[in-house]
Amino acid sequence: KSKDTGKNKFTIFDSKMEEELNRNTLIVEVLRNAIDNKEVYIQYQPLIELETTTVIGYEALMRIRSERLGSITPEEFIPIAEESGLIIELSSWLLKEVCNFNKELIDMGIPPRPVSVNISSIQINRPGFISLLREVLEETGLPPQYLELEITESSLVSSIMDATELLNTLQELGVKVSLDDFGTGYSSLNYLTKMPINTLKIDKSFIDNICYSEKDSQIAKSIIQLAHSLNIKVVAEGVEYENQLALLKEQKCDIIQGFIYSGPLHAPALIDMIRKA
């Protein structure tokens, strides 16, 4: 009897794997044609400066909505795009779109603000990455200080290029750099002191607990203090509640990104929000 159950379990596991494999294959197909089929688009989430409660920037977030599979979350499709190599094409497309968009806003007379773009470790490790950046900035005419690259610690650590060298090159180019998802990976404070970065983003998973864990709250406070001593601005990601906001204000956090102010928006809604402020 026990043998039967074992076999059964194995079969269930097997068909689950097969299902996943099929969905994976379908997603790869969707991603491969997403640009041509206009099934990829971009939303922008405002970043709010606490002191002035104004929009001081916006993060570009990639979205996929396909006829075949409906909406697919970035959590699901980004890893598949990375494994399949399709991230290269998709993110080059996104970079151009986003720089173009931000240049258009400037041309509309809207006071310029940086647009942030998530950069995958696959992109960073490509030899052509810096030249792509140069090319896109030149083609779109976006002044480099209005582009901010969001890079995670883990992709810096695994970078083939020396991390400091890469960051120095980016600083020379004039683009801004922010360290994304801080608090989830290596999060070495020592590392931070050596990195030429402009902004540090404390990850949502960490922000979630700051009101309930004295330890997390103390860590957040220390991170903010250290960042400030290094002339680095701090963004709190995924702020949803008033009590989080109050605590972060008290701790002198600079910038908030979260549903408490706004979720990711379509371009027209973002423009509306900026104009109303």
Q: Do the beta carbons of residue 239 and residue 207 sit within 8 Å?
A: yes
Using CB under 6 A as the binding rule, the residues of this chain from 161 to 180 that contact ligand C2E are: 180
User: Is residue 73 at the binding interface for ligand C2E, with CB under 6 A as the rule?
Assistant: yes
What string marks each residue from 167 to 206 as x (binds Mg ion by CB under 5 A) or -?
-------------xx-------------------x-x---
What string marks each residue from 235 to 254 as x (binds Mg ion by CB under 5 A) or -?
--x-----------------
Residue 182's SS3 state is: strand
User: Is residue 244 at the binding interface for ligand C2E, with CB under 6 A as the rule?
Assistant: no
User: Is residue 258 at the binding interface for ligand C2E, with CB under 6 A as the rule?
Assistant: yes
User: Is residue 94 at the binding interface for ligand C2E, with CB under 6 A as the rule?
Assistant: yes
Q: Which residues 6+ apart lie within 8 Å of 220 measured at CB?
A: 202, 206, 207, 210, 236, 248, 251, 253
Query: Which of 97, 180 has the CB closer to Mg ion?
Result: 180
Point out which residues pair with 234 in neighbouring strands. 200
Report how far residue 146's alpha carbon sits from residue 235's, in angstroms, rounded to the nearest whole number.
Answer: 17
DSSP-derived letter for residue 184 is: S
Q: Which residue, 40, 102, 60, 42, is CA-closest to 257?
A: 60
Beta-strand relationship, 115-118 and 176-182: unpaired
Question: Which of the ranges 102-110, 163-171, 225-233, 238-246 carries the binding residues for ligand C2E, by CB under 6 A?
Answer: 238-246
What string marks each residue from 136 to 155 as x (binds Mg ion by CB under 5 A) or -?
--------------x-----
Using CB under 5 A as the binding rule, the residues of this chain from 40 to 79 that contact Mg ion are: none
Query: Which of 186, 259 has the CB closer to ligand C2E?
Result: 259
User: DSSP alpha helices (H): ranges in the chain?
Assistant: 2-33, 74-84, 86-107, 121-124, 129-140, 153-157, 163-173, 189-194, 204-207, 214-229, 242-250, 267-276
DSSP-derived letter for residue 230 is: T
User: Is residue 240 at the binding interface for ligand C2E, with CB under 6 A as the rule?
Assistant: yes
Q: Among all chains, which residue has been given the structure tokens 């299902």?
A: 19
What string marks each residue from 5 to 44 as x (binds ligand C2E by CB under 6 A) or -?
----------------------------------------
Q: Do the beta carbons of residue 186 and residue 167 sit within 8 Å?
A: no
Taking CB under 6 A as the criterion, the residue among 78, 147, 149, 192 binding ligand C2E is 78
User: Is residue 48 at the binding interface for ligand C2E, with CB under 6 A as the rule?
Assistant: no
* Interaction site with ligand C2E (CB under 6 A): 45, 61-62, 73-75, 78, 91, 94, 118, 120, 150, 180-181, 204, 237-240, 257-259, 264
